[in-house]
Chains A and B, each alone.
Chain A
Amino acid sequence: MTEETAPAAAAPLQPGMRAPDFTLPATPDQRLSLAEMRGHPVILAFYPADWSPVCGDEVGLLNAVLPEFHRFGAQLVGISTDGVWCHAAFAADRKLHFPLLADFEPKGEVARRYGVYRAKEGVADRALFVIDAEGVIRWSFVSPLGINPGADGILEALEQLSPKTHAEGAAA
């Protein structure tokens, strides 16, 4: 917990707002756009940096909770300003089962659009967005940089999104 700082001043997008579409590299030769994931709830997990201690713990936890997200039919993507090769090495090292998107060029553009870019540090905030199947933001949360926000807020948001579909195993 060495990087404890208040969230950036820019206002993160709020529930009820349409989630801005984006297309970002997921691997050196593949790109993923938000529009492609329409039809399922999507969890966007912005985080400051691959390899940093708290980020490692956070993505490790999200990775472990992934089966629970899938029970809601939800897809999880991580987003940071790291490049694709860095993401590839980090994902392999941590055995991640969800894509990490590179908000690398123009740097932090997507984080900026979601109001969670920290221009001073040049990284994304530690921010979570739950987007419904129609592409509307239903929940968002910005955590202090040094604090791993856990996954309880995400699960609660997903539960409120689709109380009926829970446990029906609509895995992505």
Chain B
Amino acid sequence: MTHGIPPIAADDHVAGPADAPVTLVEYGDYQCPYCGEAYPVLKAVQQEMGSRLRFVFRNFPLVDMHVHARRAAQFAEAAADAGVFWQAHDMLFENQDALDDRSLATYGDRLGLDRAALVSAFAGRYDDKIERDFVGGVRGGVNGTPSLFINGQRYEGPRDAETLVAVLRDVAAGRVPQPVL
């Protein structure tokens, strides 16, 4: 009954080579504690997989549940425009307990982001993109955060690094036609 998630597009935030044999997409919310828990795990997975993995982060802010989720996503999109998306992504997840406006302004300074760029992001400059990420995720079956997709297939197995690396390696090596769901 699902459409599947949208294919990787030019405005996606991508780490790793485009021709990597396996792509891991995370739908996440910077204030979601489970995404915070997944953050170091996914870092370790990326490290372990190296150039065999393409990792993509898409916005899925649950703004009524997490008061800072929207602005954090806007902040990250502004950073993406300045070419420092992943630095912002990491900074947000490493400081999940301090995502209020003043903290975001401090992180912006640290990343060398223009104050005006942040103001414009908070005024909604990137909201279309954030909304597109969100709706694409919902249509693809995202029902909470984080949701992981391996080569387009929803992954619902355990989220520890060891299991994830094993599954990703199997998919990369073509040992399983579809990842374990």
Interface residues of A (CB under 8 A from B): 57-58, 60-61, 63-65, 68, 94-97, 148-153, 155-156
In the complex, the chain A residue whose C-beta lies closest to that of B131 is A67
Question: Is the pair B143, A155 in contact by a Cβ cutoff of 8 Å?
Answer: no
Of the residues B1, B3, B65, B144, contact of A94 by C-beta under 8 Å: B65
In the complex, which residues of chain A have a beta carbon less than 8 angstroms from the beta carbon of B115?
A: none
In the complex, B138 has a CB within 8 A of chain A: yes
Contacts of B65 in A (CB 8 A): 60, 64, 94-95
| 0 or 1 for each of B130-142: is its CB under 8 Å from A? (1 = yes) | 0000110011111
- Indicate if the CB atoms of A155 and B138 lie closer than 8 Å: yes
A149 to B143, CA, bound (A): 7
Q: Is the CB of B139 within 8 A of A148?
A: no
The distance in angstroms between the C-alpha atoms of A155 and B144, with both chains bound, is 16
| Beta-carbon contact of B62 and A151 below 8 Å | no
Contact present for B3 and A68 (CB under 8 Å): no
Inter-chain contact A57/B135, CB cutoff 8 Å: no
Neighbouring A residues of B1 by C-beta, 8 Å = 152-153, 156
Min CB gap A149→B, angstroms: 7
Q: Is the CB of A64 within 8 A of B141?
A: no
Q: Which of B62, B141, B144 is the most central at the interface, judged by chain A CB atoms within 10 Å of its CB?
A: B144
Query: Which B residues fall within an 8 A CB radius of A?
Result: 1-3, 62-65, 134-135, 138-144
CA A152 to CA B65, docked complex, whole Å: 20
In Å, the complex CA distance between A126 and B92 comes to: 34
Residues of B within 8 A of A151 (CB): 138, 143
A152 partner, pick from B63, B64, B141, beta carbons under 8 A: B141
Return the 7 tightest CB-CB contacts between A and B, nearest first.
Answer: A150-B143, A95-B64, A148-B143, A57-B144, A152-B2, A153-B1, A152-B141
CA A68 to CA B142, docked complex, whole Å: 14
* Chain A nearest Cβ from B45, distance in angstroms: 22
CA distance A150 to B145 in the complex (A): 11
Q: Are B141 and A150 in contact (CB under 8 A)?
A: yes
Distance in angstroms from B71 CB to nearest chain A CB is 16
Residues of A within 8 A of B144 (CB): 57, 60-61, 148
A57 to B146, CA, bound (A): 12
Q: Enumerate chain A residues within 8 angstroms of B140, measured Cβ to Cβ.
A: 152
The residues of B that contact A149 with a CB separation of less than 8 Å are: 143
New A-B pairs, 14, CB < 8 Å, besides A60-B144, A152-B141, A156-B1? A57-B144, A58-B143, A60-B65, A61-B62, A61-B144, A64-B63, A64-B64, A65-B138, A68-B135, A95-B65, A97-B64, A150-B142, A155-B138, A156-B139
**Minimum C-beta distance from B50 to chain A (A):** 32
Determine if B64 and A60 form an interchain contact, defined as CB atoms under 8 angstroms apart: yes
Chain A: CB-nearest residue to B144: A57
Q: How far is the CA of A155 from the CA of B136 in the complex (A)?
A: 11
Contacts of B64 in A (CB 8 A): 60, 63-64, 94-97
A68 to B138, CA, bound (A): 10
Cβ contacts under 8 Å, A96 to chain B: 64
User: Which B residues are CB-close (under 8 A) to A150?
Assistant: 138, 141-143
A69 to B: closest C-beta gap in Å:
10
